[in-house]
Amino acid sequence: MLQYIVLLALLASNVIAWRWGGLDEKLAASGFAVAGLASNLANQSFYVHTETGVLAVDIMLLAGLIALALRSDRFWPMYAAAFQLVAVTVHVASMTEHGNFAWAYAVGLIFWTYPVLIALMAGTWFEGRFRPR
């Protein structure tokens, strides 16, 4: 069920970014879509242990968001990069745990997906609000 909600949020953020966003929003939306697809393909153990493939995808997305934040004149990429950094930290924290933590690990990653997407949608709203029609 949570996967469908994340998929719906990802789809909504992409539609909003491509309809009303500028170049930064479109780049981020494309990155989120690619990362979402790659994460689903890289998920091997369904969070029974650290998902190294998903971790690699999340690190690449973090690098892209940091690069976007450094070159952008908008504030939302900094927030998105910060939220993505927390998601990467969840992966790193999972490496230290050796018990049954699949549910907590999965929910921790899914939870931090929403603020990243919300940062994109809010940034798109602020960008589109001031753009001449």
Dihedral of CA 95/53/3/25: which sign? positive
CA atoms of 34 and 47, how far apart (whole Å): 20
Instruction: Say which amino acid occupies 41.
Output: L
Task: Give the model's pLDDT for residue 112.
Answer: 92
pLDDT surpasses 80 at 105? yes
What are the tens digits of pLDDT across the range 78-87? Answer: 999 999 999 9
What are the tens digits of pLDDT across the range 13-67? Answer: 999 999 999 999 999 999 999 999 999 899 888 778 888 999 999 999 999 999 9
CB 96 within 8 A of CB 71: no
Tell me the residue range of the domain where 81 lies. 2-130
CA atoms of 115 and 66, how far apart (whole Å): 16
Q: Please tell me the total count of domains within the chain.
A: 1
Residue 48 φ then ψ, to 5°: -70, -35
Instruction: Say which amino acid occupies 49.
Output: H
What are the tens digits of pLDDT across the range 82-104? Answer: 999 999 999 998 888 777 777 88
If pLDDT is split at 50, 70 and 90, which confidence band does 10 have?
A: very high
Task: Give the model's pLDDT for residue 114.
Answer: 93
Query: What is the arithmetic mean of pLDDT over 116-124?
Result: 94
What global pTM score does this model have? 0.90
Helix, strand, coil content of the chain in percent (nearest 5): 80, 0, 20
